[in-house]
Amino acid sequence: MPFCMLAVISCLIAWVPIVIAHGYVTGIVIGGTYYSGYLIPTFPYEKNPPEVIAWSTTATSLGFVDGTGYASPDIICHQNAKPGAKTADIDAGGTVELQWTTWPESHHGPVVDYLANCNGDCSTVDKSKLEFFKIGESGLIDDSNPPGKWGSDDLIAKNNSWSVKIPTTIKSGNYVLRHEIIALHSAENKDGAQSYPQCINLKVTGSGTDSPPGTLGTALYKDTDAGLQINIYQKLSGYTIPGPPLCPGGSGGSGGSNDSNTNTSSSGQPGSTTTTSALATTPVQATTSTYKQPTAPPQPPATPTSSAITLPSGLASNLLDGSYSF
């Protein structure tokens, strides 16, 4: 991964840029109900953080999992992720809207969504056993002007939000939704793609019977995948969205404008072909709040006050994990 000690030090002196870089899901809206995300700037430092539907992580740098982590449990739901204690109800066929922090425009890449059946309570599930099937994907939308227009650009255009439809045909049960942006701005380098996975717990209710076959999180990607080792600054003849093919009933997500054939799923089938007219184009305002977003500014664990830099222990391990980029 790109790594520059000078940049790390300058960001430590001015802590805030680290906190606002990259991104995470701050909130989720389902059927008009607002659910808090796992607020990484604050929850890790609270004694009793609120119980939420989102999975906790230790990605306090708002960093990513790069190609060296595709076989690591961190790729499943981000660094050291643990299941959310709560679960949101949703009808099969319903839409989940995920609200991100401001996504950096430079971080072009696909947006993908998966479900995995918990076969029981998701709050105690063993993530290493979850088998994910893809329910939404949006890759390269328009490459007329490299680096092109990507799923991530649609996400930014939709006020940094993304809507994904739960297939109407899947059977009722408890599922983990794995929502992910893959940033390709450094993907010309081996292992340079950056995954930002975010997981939430859902209880899906419907009359469907589908139980699509899934893939373990640690088997979703290889660093040699065509869609993960790629130079997006040149004209591309097409783009293969990483991961297993879209399951039947899956869709292009809110970003898919579907006006080109540049997306190709890994199975060779056309990628985003489902129209998404029913999906919200702007974030739904919270009508029911299960958790009030704190108004206090994020509290870093320690702020260096002089030129002597002391790394907080958690940060030091993140650095070793290679979770920084600039």
Shortest Cβ 303–Cu ion spacing (Å): 22
Q: Which of 39, 28, 65, 2 is nearest to 217 (CA)?
A: 65
Enumerate residues 266-325 that contact Cu ion by CB under 5 A.
325
Shortest Cβ 60–Cu ion spacing (Å): 14
Q: Where are the alpha helices (DSSP H) in 78-183?
A: 151-157
Shortest Cβ 102–Cu ion spacing (Å): 12
105: exposed, middle or buried (C-beta count within 10 Å: 0-12, 13-18, 19+)? exposed
Q: Does 78 bind Cu ion (CB under 5 A)?
A: no
Q: Which of 71, 179, 195, 79 is nearest to 134 (CA)?
A: 179
Q: Which of 247, 254, 245, 244 is nearest to 275 (CA)?
A: 254
Shortest Cβ 196–Cu ion spacing (Å): 9
For Cu ion, the closer CB: 22 or 134: 22
288-289: strand order across its sheet? 161-165, 95-100, 25-30, 33-36, 288-289
For Cu ion, the closer CB: 22 or 127: 22
Residue nearest to Cu ion (CB): 22
For Cu ion, the closer CB: 54 or 59: 59
For Cu ion, the closer CB: 280 or 319: 319
Contact 103, 182 (CB under 8 A): no
Contact string 192-231 vs Cu ion (x = CB under 5 A): ----------------------------------------
Contact string 20-49 vs Cu ion (x = CB under 5 A): --x---------------------------
Degrees (nearest 5) of the Cα angle 76, 117, 219? Answer: 35
How far is it, in rounded angstroms, from Cα 163 to Cα 181?
13
Shortest Cβ 14–Cu ion spacing (Å): 16
**Which positions touch Cu ion (CB under 5 A)?**
22, 325
